[in-house]
Amino acid sequence: MRLLASQPTLALLLCFLSSPTALAAPPIKGIAFDHGDWTLACDNTRTCRAAGYQPGDGEHAPVSVLLTRRAGPDQRVKAELMVGQLGEIKLPLRLSLQIDDARLGPLRYNAADGTATLLPAQVSAMLTALMGNSRIALIGDDGRRWTLSGRGASAVLLKLDEFQGRIGTPGALVRKGTKAESTVLPAVSMPIMKLTNIVATRPADKALASSAALREALIATISADDCEALQPTWNDTSNEGPQEMKVQRLSADKLLVSHLCWRGAYNRGDGYWVINDRPPYRPRLVTNSGSGDNVRSIEEWHRGRGLADCIYSPTWSWIGTRFVQTAVASSGLCRSITLGGPWNLPTLVTRVQQ
């Protein structure tokens, strides 16, 4: 067997290896990080969002601030906030910022929904205060105070600097230095995912919902702990009785099968598999924690606690051959701000084309 490539073949190989596509960097992977009363989410475009809250100990009125910074040199930090509004709470008509004994003026405040944005000078003062032991408070026109905790802020903002490549530059939030701002990592374009049209479900597809052979094939792909409701023992341990599979067509030869996998106090998870439309089914598990679907997309929506003041919400989308994850986000820490949580903190974003 000849191992030495001929000159034309070698030339083509070198051309391929030098092409931008062949040498493209691997996709950026987002991160999530919590410390103290702060949380961080940086997504795959290198945009970072850090959220801080009232102190987690003691009795403090709920409040949260969101700091957003896009990737790339010379990017400013933007700040917005929301005061807690669960229950029968009357929101103030006006809100101002105070750091220690210094009043820093009124916020651009919307009394209808309890949200506000900070002016650039207010953002700068807050960032400085978060690096020390300053007291940061929001003062309502009715005299009420909302205290913002700095516990964990420096660790979270250092992680933000690290992810965006800002450590040692003048624009770093924590460890400033003299490295050129041009060394900061650039922003990355949001990936585009094009969804594929699905094929109408046929009567024979729905009939598979009672197939014992298909059920056995699904069971073989997942542990009993990860999909308890699919197991034969479910009937003995629950009061719900057997659960039926749901079968929907995706393409000329692929089906989407779903089945309850688990229930918790305030969440449930459905398993989703892509299968061949005839034996051998060869099921491929997408997730065991689905909350619903429209066939082309599978969503997860899970509460961090029963109050539903914090959620976690990934999405999977059909691209013709498989489901891929197209979104991952949370709403931040569980701190009684609002139903569903105050913020969208993604670690994965894509532009989905229908």
Mean pLDDT by 10 residues, the chain (354 residues): 35 39 71 98 98 94 98 98 91 97 96 96 97 95 96 98 98 97 97 95 96 96 96 76 90 97 94 98 98 97 95 97 97 96 98 92
Report d(CA 131, CA 224) in Å as an integer: 48
Q: Would you mind telling me the total number of residues written for the chain in this entry? A: 354
User: Residue 136: phi, psi to the nearest 5?
Assistant: -110, 125
User: Domain residue spans in the chain?
Assistant: 31-183, 192-353
Task: Supply the pLDDT for residue 24.
Answer: 56
End-to-end CA distance of the chain: 48
Task: Supply the pLDDT for residue 234.
Answer: 85
Using DSSP, state whether 351 is helix, strand or coil.
strand
Task: Supply the pLDDT for residue 110.
Answer: 97
Task: Supply the pLDDT for residue 14.
Answer: 34
Report d(CA 235, CA 246) in Å as an integer: 18
Place of tokens 């009125």: 61
Q: Which of 157, 180, 185, 183 is nearest to 170 (CA)?
A: 180
Secondary structure of 58-84 as H, E, C letters: CCCCCEEEEEEECCCCCCCCEEEEEEC
Report d(CA 212, CA 217) in Å as an integer: 9
Write the CA distances from 144 to 83, 132, 137, 263, integer angstroms: 11, 24, 10, 41
Q: Which of 205, 316, 292 is nearest to 253 (CA)?
A: 205
Place of tokens 């989703």: 272
**Which long-range contacts link 206-214 to residues 24+ away (Cβ below 8 Å)?**
206/247, 208/245, 208/247, 208/255, 208/257, 209/244, 209/245, 209/246, 209/247, 210/244, 210/245, 211/245, 213/279, 213/281, 214/245, 214/257, 214/275, 214/281, 214/283
Task: Supply the pLDDT for residue 354.
Answer: 84
Fold adopted by 31-183: Immunoglobulin-like (2.60.40)
Q: Which of 269, 273, 277, 270 is nearest to 207 (CA)?
A: 277
Task: Supply the pLDDT for residue 25.
Answer: 66
User: Residue 80: phi, psi to the nearest 5?
Assistant: -140, 165
Task: Supply the pLDDT for residue 262.
Answer: 95
Among the residues of the chain, which ranges form H helices?
7-17, 120-130, 153-164, 203-207, 212-219, 234-237
Contact 286, 316 (CB under 8 A): yes
Using DSSP, state whether 130 is helix, strand or coil.
helix
R_g of the chain computed on alpha carbons: 26
Report d(CA 28, CA 43) in Å as an integer: 8
